[in-house]
Structure 1
Amino acid sequence: MATILLLLLLLALPPPSAVALNSEGLALLAFKAAATDDPFSALSRWSESDPDPCRWPGVTCANASSASPAQPHVIGVAVAGKNISGYIPSELGSLLFLRRLNLHGNRLAGAIPAALSNASSLHSLYLYGNRLTGGLPVALCDLPRLQNLDVSGNALSGELPLDLRNCRSLQRLVLARNAFAGELPAGIWPEMPSLQQLDLSSNAFNGSIPPDLGELPRLAGTLNLSHNRFSGVVPPELGRLPATVTLDLRFNNLSGAIPQTGSLASQGPTAFLNNPGLCGFPLQVPCRAVPPPTQSPRPPATTTPLPSTASDRHQPIKTSLIALISVADAAGVALVGVILVYVYWKVKDRKESRGDDGDSSKSGLCRCMLWRHGGSGDSSDTSSDGDDNDASGGGGDGKYNGGSEGELVAIDRGFRVELDELLRSSAYVLGKGGKGIVYKVVVANGTTPVAVRRLGGGGGGGADRCKEFAAEARAVGRARHPNVVRLRAYYWSADEKLVVTDFVGNGNLATALRGEHTVPHH
Structure 2
Amino acid sequence: MWNWKCCLLLCSLLCLQNLINPALSLSSDGLSLLSLKSAVDGGATAFQDWNEDDPTPCRWTGITCTNITGVTDPRVVGVSVSGKNLRGYIPSELGTLVYLRRLNLHDNNFYGSVPDQLFNASSLQSLFLYGNNLSGSLRPSLCNLSRLQNLDLSNNYIAGTIPKDLQNCRQLQRLILSRNRFSGDIPTGIWPEMPNLVQLDLSANDLTGSVPEDIGELKSLSGTLNLSFNHLSGKIPKSMGDLPMAVSFDLRNNNFTGEIPQTGSFGNQGPTAFLNNPSLCGFPLKKQCENGSETAPGNRNQSPESDSNDNSPRKGLRPGLIILISMADAIGVSLVGLVIIYVYWKKKDSHSCSCTGKGQFGGNGKSKLCVCPCIGGFPSDDSEADSEKEGGGSGSGVGGEGDLVAIDKGFNFELDELLRASAYVLGKSGLGIVYKVVLGNGVPVAVRRLGEGGEQRFKEFLAEIQAISRVKHPNIVRLRAYYWAPDEKLLISDFISNGNLASALRGRTGQPSSSLSWSTRLKIVKGIARGLAYLHECSPRKFVHGDIKLSNILLDNEFQSYISDFGLSRLITITGNNPSSSGGFIGGPLPYLNSVQPERANNYRAPEARFSGNRPTQKWDVYSFGVVLLELLTGKSLELSPPTTSTSTEVQDLVRWVRKGFEEENPLSDMVDPMLLQEVHAKKEVLAVFHIALACTEGDPEVRPRMKIVLENLERIGT
TM-score normalized by structure 2? 0.44
- 1:118–1:50: structure 2 CA closer, same or farther, 3 Å change rule? same
Paired position in structure 1 for 2:6: 7
Root-mean-square deviation (CA, aligned residues, Å) is 4.2
The 5 A counterparts of 1:22-33 are 22-33=27-38
C-alpha displacement at 1:200, in angstroms? Answer: 0.5
Paired position in structure 2 for 1:128: 130
Q: Residue 30 of structure 1: SS of its match in structure 2?
A: helix
Q: Is this contact kept in 2: 1:491–1:498, CA < 8 A?
A: no
Q: Of residues 41, 44, 55 in structure 1, which corresponds to 2:48?
A: 44
**2-structure distance, mates of 1:479, 1:93:** 72
Q: Of residues 122, 145, 149 in structure 2, which corresponds to 1:147?
A: 149
Q: Of residues 621, 624, 648 in structure 2, which corresponds to 1:503?
A: 624
Q: Does 1:53 align with 2:91?
A: no
C-alpha displacement at 1:51, in angstroms? Answer: 2.3
Identity of aligned residues (%): 47
Instruction: Give the aligned residue type for 2:249.
Output: L
C-alpha displacement at 1:187, in angstroms? Answer: 0.5
- 1:285–1:327: structure 2 CA closer, same or farther, 3 Å change rule? closer
**1-structure distance, mates of 2:578, 2:216:** 45
The 5 A counterparts of 1:69-468 are 70-290=72-292, 291-293=294-296, 324=319, 431=533, 433=537
Structure with the greater relative contact order (CA < 8 A, sep ≥ 6): 1 or 2?
2
**1-structure distance, mates of 2:267, 2:120:** 45
Q: Residue 251 of structure 1: SS of its match in structure 2?
A: coil
Write out per-residue CA displacement over residues 393-430 of structure 1, whole angstroms, 9 at most, x where no aligned residue. Answer: xxxxxxxxxxxxxxxxxxxxxxxxxxxxxxxxxxx997
Q: Residue 65 of structure 2: SS of its match in structure 1?
A: strand
- 1:10–1:207: structure 2 CA closer, same or farther, 3 Å change rule? same
Q: Is this contact kept in 2: 1:202–1:228, CA < 8 A?
A: yes
Q: Residue 45 of structure 2: SS of its match in structure 1?
A: coil
Instruction: Give the aligned residue type for 1:433.
Output: E
- 1:327–1:93: structure 2 CA closer, same or farther, 3 Å change rule? closer
Write out per-residue CA displacement over residues 151-196 of structure 1, whole angstroms, 9 at most, x where no aligned residue. Answer: 0010111110111111111111000111111110100111111111
**2-structure distance, mates of 1:241, 1:490:** 37
**2-structure distance, mates of 1:163, 1:5:** 69
**2-structure distance, mates of 1:164, 1:269:** 32
Write out per-residue CA displacement over residues 23-56 of structure 1, whole angstroms, 9 at most, x where no aligned residue. Answer: 2222111111111245x93312222222222221
**1-structure distance, mates of 2:194, 2:170:** 5
Write out per-residue CA displacement over residues 471-509 of structure 1, whole angstroms, 9 at most, x where no aligned residue. Answer: x9xx79x99999x9986569999xx988745624779xx
Q: Residue 167 of structure 2: SS of its match in structure 1?
A: helix
Q: Where does the alignment leave 5 or more consecutive residues of structure 2 unmatched? A: 300-311, 327-528, 551-569, 580-595, 630-713
Instruction: Give the aligned residue type for 2:39.
Output: A
Q: Is this contact kept in 1: 2:544–2:618, CA < 8 A?
A: no
Which structure's residues are more often helix, by fraction?
2
C-alpha displacement at 1:89, in angstroms? Answer: 0.9
Q: Residue 93 of structure 1: SS of its match in structure 2?
A: helix
Q: Is this contact kept in 1: 2:544–2:617, CA < 8 A?
A: no
Q: Is this contact kept in 2: 1:42–1:57, CA < 8 A?
A: no
Q: Is this contact kept in 2: 1:133–1:155, CA < 8 A?
A: yes
Write out per-residue CA displacement over residues 265-316 of structure 1, whole angstroms, 9 at most, x where no aligned residue. Answer: 22122211111111111111111103144898xxxxxxxxxxxxxxxxxxx9
Q: Is this contact kept in 1: 2:248–2:268, CA < 8 A?
A: no
Paired position in structure 1 for 2:305: none
Instruction: Give the aligned residue type for 1:22.
Output: S
TM-score normalized by structure 1? 0.59
Q: Is this contact kept in 1: 2:137–2:159, CA < 8 A?
A: yes
Paired position in structure 1 for 2:474: none
Q: Is this contact kept in 2: 1:490–1:497, CA < 8 A?
A: no
Q: Is this contact kept in 2: 1:491–1:497, CA < 8 A?
A: no
Instruction: Give the aligned residue type for 2:226.
Output: N
Deviates more, 1:213-222 or 1:287-296: 287-296
- 1:48–1:323: structure 2 CA closer, same or farther, 3 Å change rule? closer
**1-structure distance, mates of 2:118, 2:543:** 48
Q: Residue 503 of structure 1: SS of its match in structure 2?
A: helix
Q: Residue 32 of structure 1: SS of its match in structure 2?
A: helix
Write out per-residue CA displacement over residues 437-469 of structure 1, whole angstroms, 9 at most, x where no aligned residue. Answer: 9999xxxxxxx9xxxxxxxxxxxxxxxxxxxxx
Q: Is this contact kept in 2: 1:105–1:130, CA < 8 A?
A: yes
Q: Residue 187 of structure 1: SS of its match in structure 2?
A: coil
Q: Is this contact kept in 1: 2:84–2:107, CA < 8 A?
A: yes
C-alpha displacement at 1:257, in angstroms? Answer: 1.0
Q: How many residues align?
A: 354
Q: Residue 125 of structure 1: SS of its match in structure 2?
A: strand
Paired position in structure 1 for 2:490: none
Write out per-residue CA displacement over residues 73-114 of structure 1, whole angstroms, 9 at most, x where no aligned residue. Answer: 111111101111010011110111111110001000000111
Q: Is this contact kept in 1: 2:124–2:147, CA < 8 A?
A: yes
C-alpha displacement at 1:263, in angstroms? Answer: 1.2
**1-structure distance, mates of 2:264, 2:122:** 40
Instruction: Give the aligned residue type for 2:83.
Output: G
C-alpha displacement at 1:64, in angstroms? Answer: 2.0
**2-structure distance, mates of 1:257, 1:438:** 31
**1-structure distance, mates of 2:280, 2:233:** 10
**1-structure distance, mates of 2:194, 2:225:** 15
Which structure's residues are more often strand, by fraction?
1
**2-structure distance, mates of 1:257, 1:42:** 55
Q: Residue 24 of structure 1: SS of its match in structure 2?
A: helix
Instruction: Give the aligned residue type for 2:272.
Output: T
